[in-house]
Amino acid sequence: MQIAFLVAPEGTEQVELTDPWQAVRGAGGTPRLVSTRPGRVQAFHHLDKADTFAVDRALTDTTVDEYDGLVLPGGVANPDYLRLNARAVAFAKGFFDAGKPVAAICHAPWTLVEADVVRGRTLTSWPSLRTDIRNAGGTWVDEQVRICESGPNTLITSRKPDDLKAFCEAFLDVFAGLGKKGASR
């Protein structure tokens, strides 16, 4: 299982990158850090700089076909940057077009709103995205984790860092092909 983690050059909430990354590794998968440019990305702990991480692949050097699924970590600045980058939006949308699972936490659904893939789906996020999701045709719920199987792929969403354990368990279950239709946790 090879999983893309799409992040901006800076602004990713570190724990929303590192916990899912370790979960993929712990399940025997291969996480790959994908960004809009090569080099290193600057993660944050809320508004404070945290660690930097090496980019495995720049968006210009990779395709959706190389991965089994996509994880979109949050942080306020990260998805705000990504949703303004046409290549990042197209990459995220490509997973939906290919019928591959996508997992997004906290503010990450902003990128999905921009990709126009939330219409008709039920998802959760950081509460401030509620109106954006509804305006994009999605249904917002306040749940720890939401698994939405609509169309050919599955979308797994979660609200915040406190939900990471449940988020990781849910997306690993789905990514491994063990998700149940209509499940919500």
CA distance 154 to 156: 7
Per the residue annotation, which of 107, 146, 159, 160 is the catalytic one? Answer: 107
CATH 3.40.50.880 matches 2-175? yes
The residues facing 148 across adjacent strands are: 155
In the predicted model, is pLDDT for residue 183 greater than 70?
Answer: no
- The whole-number pLDDT of residue 184 equals 39
In the predicted model, is pLDDT for residue 84 greater than 90?
Answer: yes
| pTM of the predicted structure, to 2 decimals | 0.94
Contact 69, 100 (CB under 8 A): yes
- The whole-number pLDDT of residue 150 equals 83
In the predicted model, is pLDDT for residue 77 greater than 90?
Answer: yes
* Arithmetic mean of pLDDT, 139-153: 93
Contact 33, 55 (CB under 8 A): yes
pLDDT confidence tier of residue 177, bands split at 50, 70 and 90: confident
DSSP of 16-56, one letter per residue? HHHHHHHHHHHTT-EEEEEESSSSEEEEEETTEEEEEEE-S
- The whole-number pLDDT of residue 120 equals 96
Q: CA-based diameter of the chain, in Å?
A: 40
pLDDT confidence tier of residue 179, bands split at 50, 70 and 90: very low
What is the phi/psi pair of residue 96, to 5°? Answer: -70, -45
Q: Could you report the per-residue pLDDT of 5-38, keeping only the tens digit for each?
A: 999 999 999 999 999 999 999 999 999 999 999 9
Token pair 């917002």: residue: 140
Question: In whole numbers, what is the pLDDT of the chain averaged over residues?
Answer: 94
* Arithmetic mean of pLDDT, 135-144: 98
Q: Could you report the per-residue pLDDT of 45-62, keeping only the tens digit for each?
A: 999 999 999 999 999 999
46 is catalytic: no
In the predicted model, is pLDDT for residue 85 greater than 90?
Answer: yes
- The whole-number pLDDT of residue 7 equals 98
